Amino acid sequence: MNSSIRKPLAALLAAIFAAPAAPLYAADPVVQGPESVQDWFDGGQRFIRESKQIFANARRAKNVILFVGDGMGVSTVTAARILEGQMNGKPGEENSLSFEKFPYLALSKTYSWDQQTSDSAPTMTAMVTGYKGREGQLSVNHTTARGECDANVTATKSLQTILEQAAAAGKSTGVVSTARITHATPAATYSHISVRDWESDREIRAFEAAQGLPSGTCTVKDVASQLIDASPAVRSSLKVALGGGRSYFLPNTVTDEENNRAGARRDGRHLPNEWVSTRGGPSQAAYVWRKAEFDAVNPATTEHLLGLFENSHMQYEADRPADRSGEPSLTDMTDKSIRMLSKNRDGFFLHVEAGRIDHAHHAGNAKRALLDTIEFSKAIKRAYEMTDPKDTLIIVTADHSHVFTIAGYPHRGNDILGLVKEVPNMDGQPTAPSRDNLGLPYTTLGYQNGPGWRDAIATGQKRPDLTGVNTAATSFLQEAAIPMGSETHAGEDVAIFATGPKSYLVHGVMEQNWIYHVMKEAFGF
């Protein structure tokens, strides 16, 4: 019997023997997306039509906005996209965060000069200076010694940042973060220092003491004072600095009004007062720390705005409503910044960081990380709507990833924060939690290491039984395979999303420091 005859016969026999089971297989799927068959094809055709309309905007950029989601790896983007969709009552997978609609995309290689998996200091240094640097160092070149604290040596090693170049070109500049404004990512735009943790002079004095050096040996300025004592061009251009980290700007003789804590500074400087006094006085400059004060700032009449809304980092988005003094959201801060910076006809450079995605991941707490990512997406949407894509380059990326993963074979629309439930083997059957080799359910989201590891010895179980556990609770810690006090960064590439002038230069697999070169090219520097 040749094969052309065997096949129809086999199909006929299969149909005969399968006949009694037909009603089961014919049942409607319990899990199903909202799309029709035609929708998939139509969606693809729409993508082609719209893609054909994309043109390479080769104009010079008037404005550049660099958004950095700290620790926002690709898995974080995917999970946040699904969570946002599910919060809007959809299955979630088909949702897009605002920046996922940008026309140009690349991958960014995040290693640094001396790290396979990097921290935020060299990665942001790469993005804003064009050079890869060393672990823990901000906008100095890789020949800088660890712990170098001589101001003159540091000056010779310093790398000019895109913010400083924008300032020299007469543009306005701004820095916004939900972390401390002195934290590595925002600080790399305006400071040059060999140790990222030297955010106030307190940390430098402690370093001297630990090294047995007389106090004052180190002449390099701390990060907070570098923000205030900027070069004349930066001082004039830096119109807005918004974030946390208030204690690093206050002397230790001053008690903070919100949290009853002494400031950090040993040198007696009150940097918020200096911000105002060195930038035209109260008629032109303002310092705010409450949301009500922030809301009252008129961008049209305020030239320089410093907002420090927490002693340390600002609240996670999940906890922001509970803040006693009120905190603006990242969207609020982005909006106000653009209103202030847009007054300059020569354009602006703005950096906006969602700094707490990273912290929530370090805590092994996926929901807080994802809610901060969703707020980040809203801030980007606001920026896109407030600017003209013809003259404003917007780049969205991350400094590094985290060991955060989306696992198993959950069905379409399965709660992204929930237990894995697969598509049932037969249509019509209900979904049920998938089981591991121990017979226990597991969550879709998890970490390779971190605090989410459960102590098997203490509990007498090889794995926790999550049956009935509310894994979608805001403070639920996803399981981790390796016990560590803090979950770690990851070394895989992160994504770069871009729109606006010269955004077509963002393509392929890029070295992270090339992001600077795209911005430089867009500005025409």
Partner 1 sequence: MQRMLSLALAALVTVGHAASALADTSRPVAAQFSFTASDAAGKERTPAEFHLWRTADRVETDHDGRAEVWQRDTEGTRLTRVFHADSRMVEYSPGELKAMRIEPRWEALASMLDPADLSGLPAAGSTEVFGQVASIREGVIGEEQVTVWWIDALSIPARYERTGPNGRVRFTLESLADSAPSGWPLVSDAAWREYVRIDAADLGEMEDDAFVRKLQRMDAGSRFGHGHHGHEHR
Nearer CB in complex with partner 1: 408/451: 451
386/377 Cα distance (integer angstroms): 14
Q: Which pairing describes strands 404-406 and 445-450: parallel, antiparallel, or unpaired?
A: antiparallel
Q: Which residues, in sequence order, are bridge partners of residue 109?
A: 511
Nearer CB in complex with partner 1: 130/136: 136
In whole angstroms, how far apart are CA 321 and each of 118, 356, 404?
A: 33, 16, 27
Buried b (16+ CB within 10 A) or exposed e, 167-197: beeebbbbbbbbbbbbbbbbbbbbbbbbbbb
71/384 Cα distance (integer angstroms): 22
**59 and 392 Cβ atoms separated by less than 8 Å:** no
170/236 Cα distance (integer angstroms): 9
Q: Does 451 engage in binding with partner 1 (CB under 8 A)?
A: yes
- Residue with token string 């994504």: 495
Give me the helix-helix angle, 330-341 and 366-386, nearest 10°: 20
From 38-46, 351-359, 388-396, 508-516, give the range in contact with partner 1 by CB under 8 A.
Answer: 351-359
Q: Does 247 engage in binding with partner 1 (CB under 8 A)?
A: yes
Site string for partner 1, 159-198 (x = CB under 8 A): ---------------------x---x------------x-
Q: How far is the CB of 259 from partner 1 (least distance, A)?
A: 8
Nearer CB in complex with partner 1: 180/502: 180
Written as one letter, the residue type at 489 is H
Q: Does 452 engage in binding with partner 1 (CB under 8 A)?
A: yes
Q: Does 290 engage in binding with partner 1 (CB under 8 A)?
A: no
Nearer CB in complex with partner 1: 239/362: 362
Catalytic option among 75, 98, 120, 342: 120
Q: Does 422 engage in binding with partner 1 (CB under 8 A)?
A: no
Q: How far is the CB of 483 from partner 1 (least distance, A)?
A: 4
Tokens representing 236 are 């004039």
Whether 120 is catalytic is: yes
Q: Does 466 engage in binding with partner 1 (CB under 8 A)?
A: yes
Nearer CB in complex with partner 1: 62/421: 421
What are the backbone angles phi and psi of residue 115, rounded to the nearest 5°? -130, 135
- The residues, any chain, with a CB within 8 Å of residue 385's CB and separated by 6 or more, are none
Nearer CB in complex with partner 1: 85/245: 245
Question: Binding residues for partner 1, how many (CB under 8 A)?
Answer: 60
Site residues, partner 1 (CB under 8 A): 119-120, 135-136, 180, 184, 197, 202-203, 206, 247, 252-253, 261-262, 264, 266, 310, 312-313, 315-316, 318-319, 322-324, 356, 358-360, 362-363, 365, 368, 450-455, 458, 464, 466, 468-470, 473-477, 480, 483-489
Active site residues: 120
